[in-house]
Amino acid sequence: MGVESLSPLMLIKILGMRDHIIWDKGAELDFKKPVRSDLTFHFCITDNDLSLIQQELDAKGKIVYPFFVKAMDREKDTCFEAKKLVYVRRKSHD
């Protein structure tokens, strides 16, 4: 598991699968330097992110939301950054 999976999984944990469909839509990678050690990934979902997602869900029922991830090496240098696009939609309960 790497940069491709954790943002949707974090949102599933926060928003729940019962009422939402959540999946990876895409990613853009920006490589900064060669990787020569194990990497640590830094994922963050803020209260502001959740508020913006909820506002868009209330207005349109779905959103493709960007999250930003950093991959850092042993020396804490950023080796690459990723812009993750995550699709979120409310399920209709008929």
Contact call for residues 45 and 11 (beta carbons, < 8 A): yes
Number of structural domains the chain divides into:
1
What are the C-alpha distances in Å from 83 to residues 43, 59, 94?
Answer: 11, 24, 35
Residue 1 forms part of a structural domain: no
Q: Sign (positive/negative) of CA torsion 23, 50, 73, 6? A: negative
**pLDDT, tens only, 3-29:** 656 778 888 888 888 889 999 999 899
* Alpha-carbon span 87 to 91, nearest angstrom: 13
Residue 24 forms part of a structural domain: yes
* Domain around 10: 6-90
**pLDDT, tens only, 33-82:** 999 999 998 888 999 999 999 999 999 999 999 999 999 999 999 999 99
pLDDT-based confidence at residue 89 (cuts at 50, 70, 90): very high
pTM of the model: 0.82
pLDDT at 94 over 80: no
Contact call for residues 73 and 39 (beta carbons, < 8 A): yes
Residue 79 forms part of a structural domain: yes
User: What is the CATH classification number for the domain harbouring 79?
Assistant: 3.10.129.10
Residue 38 forms part of a structural domain: yes
Taking the CA atoms of residue 90, residue 58, residue 9 and residue 15 in that order, the dihedral angle to the nearest 10 degrees is -90
**Which of 61, 69, 60, 55 lies closest to 21, judged by CA?**
61
